[in-house]
Protein backbone atom coordinates (compact mmCIF):
# COMPACT_ATOMS: atom_id res chain seq x y z
CA UNK A 1 0.00 0.00 0.00
CA UNK A 2 2.64 2.51 -1.09
CA UNK A 3 0.05 5.30 -1.50
CA UNK A 4 -1.78 4.69 1.79
CA UNK A 5 -3.96 7.74 2.57
CA UNK A 6 -2.27 9.90 -0.09
CA UNK A 7 -4.62 12.28 -1.89
CA UNK A 8 -4.25 11.75 -5.64
CA UNK A 9 -5.94 13.78 -8.38
CA UNK A 10 -6.38 12.33 -11.88
CA UNK A 11 -7.68 14.48 -14.73
CA UNK A 12 -9.54 12.75 -17.55
CA UNK A 13 -10.11 9.94 -15.09
CA UNK A 14 -13.41 8.60 -16.43
CA UNK A 15 -11.97 6.29 -19.09
CA UNK A 16 -8.87 4.81 -20.65
CA UNK A 17 -5.48 5.48 -19.09
CA UNK A 18 -6.99 7.91 -16.57
CA UNK A 19 -9.43 5.31 -15.30
CA UNK A 20 -6.71 2.66 -15.06
CA UNK A 21 -4.51 5.13 -13.18
CA UNK A 22 -7.26 5.96 -10.71
CA UNK A 23 -7.81 2.26 -10.06
CA UNK A 24 -4.11 1.57 -9.63
CA UNK A 25 -3.65 4.32 -7.05
CA UNK A 26 -6.82 3.24 -5.23
CA UNK A 27 -5.45 -0.31 -5.05
CA UNK A 28 -2.41 1.11 -3.28
CA UNK A 29 -4.51 2.83 -0.63
CA UNK A 30 -4.81 6.35 -2.06
CA UNK A 31 -7.78 8.64 -1.75
CA UNK A 32 -8.41 9.26 -5.43
CA UNK A 33 -10.25 12.24 -6.89
CA UNK A 34 -10.93 12.10 -10.62
CA UNK A 35 -12.28 14.77 -12.91
CA UNK A 36 -13.64 14.64 -16.44
CA UNK A 37 -15.94 16.62 -18.73
CA UNK A 38 -18.05 13.48 -19.28
CA UNK A 39 -20.27 13.34 -16.21
CA UNK A 40 -22.06 10.11 -17.15
CA UNK A 41 -18.76 8.29 -17.65
CA UNK A 42 -17.39 9.78 -14.44
CA UNK A 43 -20.32 8.63 -12.34
CA UNK A 44 -20.10 5.17 -13.88
CA UNK A 45 -16.38 5.00 -13.14
CA UNK A 46 -16.67 5.81 -9.45
CA UNK A 47 -19.36 3.16 -9.05
CA UNK A 48 -16.98 0.67 -10.60
CA UNK A 49 -13.84 1.75 -8.71
CA UNK A 50 -15.37 2.01 -5.25
CA UNK A 51 -15.95 4.37 -2.37
CA UNK A 52 -12.37 5.67 -2.18
CA UNK A 53 -12.74 7.35 -5.61
CA UNK A 54 -14.59 10.68 -5.95
CA UNK A 55 -15.69 12.36 -9.19
CA UNK A 56 -15.95 16.02 -10.19
CA UNK A 57 -17.10 17.38 -13.53
CA UNK A 58 -14.30 19.70 -14.63
CA UNK A 59 -13.16 21.22 -17.91
CA UNK A 60 -9.39 21.51 -17.45
CA UNK A 61 -9.24 24.22 -20.12
CA UNK A 62 -11.24 26.45 -17.75
CA UNK A 63 -9.10 28.06 -15.04
CA UNK A 64 -12.25 28.76 -13.02
CA UNK A 65 -13.31 25.09 -13.15
CA UNK A 66 -9.86 23.88 -12.19
CA UNK A 67 -9.37 26.30 -9.31
CA UNK A 68 -12.80 25.52 -7.87
CA UNK A 69 -12.05 21.79 -8.08
CA UNK A 70 -8.64 22.05 -6.42
CA UNK A 71 -9.94 24.37 -3.69
CA UNK A 72 -12.78 21.96 -2.97
CA UNK A 73 -10.39 19.00 -2.71
CA UNK A 74 -8.25 20.96 -0.25
CA UNK A 75 -11.32 21.84 1.80
CA UNK A 76 -12.29 18.16 1.90
CA UNK A 77 -8.90 16.46 2.41
CA UNK A 78 -6.61 19.33 3.55
CA UNK A 79 -3.83 18.30 1.12
CA UNK A 80 -2.99 17.14 -2.39
CA UNK A 81 -0.07 14.72 -2.65
CA UNK A 82 -0.13 13.83 -6.33
CA UNK A 83 -1.77 15.12 -9.50
CA UNK A 84 -1.77 13.13 -12.73
CA UNK A 85 -2.47 15.53 -15.60
CA UNK A 86 -3.90 12.91 -17.94
CA UNK A 87 -6.80 14.73 -19.68
CA UNK A 88 -6.36 15.08 -23.42
CA UNK A 89 -8.14 15.07 -26.76
CA UNK A 90 -7.41 14.44 -30.44
CA UNK A 91 -8.45 16.48 -33.48
CA UNK A 92 -6.19 15.08 -36.20
CA UNK A 93 -5.60 16.64 -39.58
CA UNK A 94 -2.80 17.54 -41.93
CA UNK A 95 -1.31 21.03 -41.91
CA UNK A 96 -2.36 21.29 -45.56
CA UNK A 97 -3.66 18.82 -48.15
CA UNK A 98 -2.82 19.30 -51.83
CA UNK A 99 -4.34 17.39 -54.74
CA UNK A 100 -3.47 17.99 -58.37
CA UNK A 101 -1.73 21.21 -57.49
CA UNK A 102 -4.64 22.63 -55.52
CA UNK A 103 -5.16 23.19 -51.80
CA UNK A 104 -8.08 20.92 -50.86
CA UNK A 105 -7.94 20.95 -47.08
CA UNK A 106 -6.09 21.99 -43.94
CA UNK A 107 -6.22 21.69 -40.17
CA UNK A 108 -8.79 24.17 -38.91
CA UNK A 109 -7.87 26.93 -36.51
CA UNK A 110 -10.69 25.75 -34.22
CA UNK A 111 -9.23 22.23 -34.02
CA UNK A 112 -5.76 23.60 -33.35
CA UNK A 113 -6.98 25.93 -30.60
CA UNK A 114 -9.17 23.29 -28.94
CA UNK A 115 -6.38 20.72 -28.61
CA UNK A 116 -3.97 23.37 -27.31
CA UNK A 117 -6.53 24.55 -24.74
CA UNK A 118 -7.12 21.07 -23.28
CA UNK A 119 -3.81 19.24 -23.71
CA UNK A 120 -1.41 22.09 -23.01
CA UNK A 121 -3.23 24.89 -21.22
CA UNK A 122 -5.18 22.31 -19.20
CA UNK A 123 -1.93 20.87 -17.81
CA UNK A 124 -0.70 24.41 -17.06
CA UNK A 125 -3.97 25.29 -15.29
CA UNK A 126 -3.92 22.22 -13.07
CA UNK A 127 -0.24 22.46 -12.13
CA UNK A 128 -0.56 26.15 -11.32
CA UNK A 129 -3.60 25.48 -9.13
CA UNK A 130 -2.05 22.66 -7.06
CA UNK A 131 1.51 23.99 -6.73
CA UNK A 132 0.81 26.62 -4.03
CA UNK A 133 -0.89 24.02 -1.84
CA UNK A 134 1.96 21.56 -2.36
CA UNK A 135 4.48 24.25 -1.40
CA UNK A 136 2.57 25.04 1.79
CA UNK A 137 2.40 21.37 2.79
CA UNK A 138 6.09 20.80 2.09
CA UNK A 139 6.06 18.83 -1.15
CA UNK A 140 4.15 16.84 -3.72
CA UNK A 141 4.30 15.18 -7.12
CA UNK A 142 3.08 16.53 -10.46
CA UNK A 143 2.86 13.98 -13.27
CA UNK A 144 2.09 15.00 -16.83
CA UNK A 145 0.83 12.96 -19.77
CA UNK A 146 2.87 13.41 -22.90
CA UNK A 147 3.28 10.88 -25.73
CA UNK A 148 5.94 9.25 -27.87
CA UNK A 149 4.71 11.50 -30.67
CA UNK A 150 5.76 14.48 -28.56
CA UNK A 151 9.31 13.13 -28.92
CA UNK A 152 9.20 11.64 -32.43
CA UNK A 153 6.46 13.62 -34.22
CA UNK A 154 3.61 12.00 -36.13
CA UNK A 155 1.92 12.51 -39.47
CA UNK A 156 -1.35 14.46 -39.32
CA UNK A 157 -1.02 15.57 -35.69
CA UNK A 158 0.41 19.10 -35.72
CA UNK A 159 -1.82 20.24 -32.85
CA UNK A 160 -1.49 17.10 -30.71
CA UNK A 161 2.28 16.85 -31.16
CA UNK A 162 2.68 20.54 -30.33
CA UNK A 163 0.89 19.99 -27.03
CA UNK A 164 2.78 16.85 -26.11
CA UNK A 165 6.14 18.42 -26.93
CA UNK A 166 5.09 21.47 -24.93
CA UNK A 167 4.22 19.30 -21.93
CA UNK A 168 7.73 17.83 -21.98
CA UNK A 169 9.17 21.35 -21.94
CA UNK A 170 6.90 22.51 -19.12
CA UNK A 171 7.82 19.42 -17.12
CA UNK A 172 11.51 20.34 -17.29
CA UNK A 173 10.84 23.96 -16.34
CA UNK A 174 8.62 23.09 -13.37
CA UNK A 175 11.11 20.52 -12.10
CA UNK A 176 13.67 23.33 -11.88
CA UNK A 177 11.30 25.89 -10.41
CA UNK A 178 9.58 23.66 -7.86
CA UNK A 179 12.34 21.30 -6.77
CA UNK A 180 13.43 23.58 -3.93
CA UNK A 181 9.96 23.15 -2.42
CA UNK A 182 10.15 19.36 -2.42
CA UNK A 183 7.91 19.02 -5.48
CA UNK A 184 8.91 16.51 -8.15
CA UNK A 185 7.63 16.91 -11.71
CA UNK A 186 7.84 14.15 -14.33
CA UNK A 187 6.10 13.08 -17.52
CA UNK A 188 5.04 9.75 -18.98
CA UNK A 189 5.09 9.15 -22.74
CA UNK A 190 2.84 6.23 -23.72
CA UNK A 191 3.13 4.49 -27.05
CA UNK A 192 0.21 2.82 -28.81
CA UNK A 193 -2.16 1.89 -25.98
CA UNK A 194 -5.35 -0.19 -26.08
CA UNK A 195 -7.89 2.41 -24.93
CA UNK A 196 -11.46 3.08 -26.03
CA UNK A 197 -10.19 5.32 -28.84
CA UNK A 198 -8.88 2.25 -30.70
CA UNK A 199 -12.29 0.56 -30.77
CA UNK A 200 -13.30 2.58 -33.84
CA UNK A 201 -10.05 1.93 -35.72
CA UNK A 202 -9.85 -0.72 -38.48
CA UNK A 203 -8.16 -3.97 -37.47
CA UNK A 204 -5.56 -3.40 -40.19
CA UNK A 205 -4.42 -0.17 -38.49
CA UNK A 206 -4.20 -1.85 -35.08
CA UNK A 207 -2.19 -4.74 -36.57
CA UNK A 208 0.17 -2.15 -38.05
CA UNK A 209 0.65 -0.56 -34.62
CA UNK A 210 1.53 -3.94 -33.15
CA UNK A 211 3.93 -4.71 -35.99
CA UNK A 212 5.78 -1.42 -35.42
CA UNK A 213 6.17 -2.12 -31.69
CA UNK A 214 9.22 -4.30 -30.91
CA UNK A 215 7.43 -6.06 -28.05
CA UNK A 216 4.71 -7.08 -30.53
CA UNK A 217 1.65 -5.82 -28.70
CA UNK A 218 -0.22 -2.69 -27.76
CA UNK A 219 0.28 -1.25 -24.32
CA UNK A 220 -2.45 -1.78 -21.75
CA UNK A 221 -3.77 1.21 -19.76
CA UNK A 222 -2.46 -0.51 -16.64
CA UNK A 223 1.07 -0.46 -18.09
CA UNK A 224 0.90 3.33 -18.15
CA UNK A 225 -0.78 3.48 -14.75
CA UNK A 226 2.09 1.48 -13.26
CA UNK A 227 4.55 4.07 -14.57
CA UNK A 228 2.59 6.88 -12.92
CA UNK A 229 2.47 4.89 -9.68
CA UNK A 230 6.23 4.37 -9.69
CA UNK A 231 6.99 8.04 -10.38
CA UNK A 232 4.61 9.10 -7.61
CA UNK A 233 6.13 6.73 -5.08
CA UNK A 234 9.07 7.18 -2.72
CA UNK A 235 11.00 4.72 -4.90
CA UNK A 236 11.30 7.57 -7.42
CA UNK A 237 12.26 10.19 -4.83
CA UNK A 238 15.38 11.30 -6.75
CA UNK A 239 13.73 11.46 -10.18
CA UNK A 240 12.45 14.79 -11.49
CA UNK A 241 12.31 16.60 -14.82
CA UNK A 242 12.24 13.32 -16.72
CA UNK A 243 10.04 11.86 -19.45
CA UNK A 244 9.54 8.11 -19.12
CA UNK A 245 8.66 6.31 -22.35
CA UNK A 246 6.25 3.41 -21.85
CA UNK A 247 5.96 2.33 -25.45
CA UNK A 248 7.13 -1.25 -26.03
CA UNK A 249 10.26 0.10 -27.77
CA UNK A 250 8.55 1.89 -30.66
CA UNK A 251 10.05 4.79 -32.55
CA UNK A 252 7.25 6.54 -34.45
CA UNK A 253 8.15 6.85 -38.15
CA UNK A 254 6.79 8.75 -41.12
Catalytic residue numbers read: 160
Count how many Cα atoms sit within 13 Å of the Cα of residue 94 in the half-sphere of its side chain: 7
Nearest to 174 by CA among 161, 185, 158, 160: 185
User: CA distances (Å), 55 to each of 41, 64, 236, in order?
Assistant: 10, 17, 27
**What does the angle CA 225 – CA 226 – CA 228 come to, to the nearest 5 degrees?**
65
**How far is 79 from 85, CA to CA, in rounded Å?**
17
Helix (H) or strand (E) holding 96: strand 96-99
Residues whose CB falls within 8 Å of the CB of residue 227, separated by 6 or more in sequence, listed in order? 188, 244, 246
Amino acid sequence: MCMKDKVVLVTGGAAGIGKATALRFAEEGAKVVICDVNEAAGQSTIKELGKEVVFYKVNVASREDVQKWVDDVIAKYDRIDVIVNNAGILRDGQLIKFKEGQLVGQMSEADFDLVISVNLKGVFNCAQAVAPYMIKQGGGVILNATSVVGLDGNFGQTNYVATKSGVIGMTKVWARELGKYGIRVNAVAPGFTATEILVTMPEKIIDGMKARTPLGRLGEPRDIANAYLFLASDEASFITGETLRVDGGIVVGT
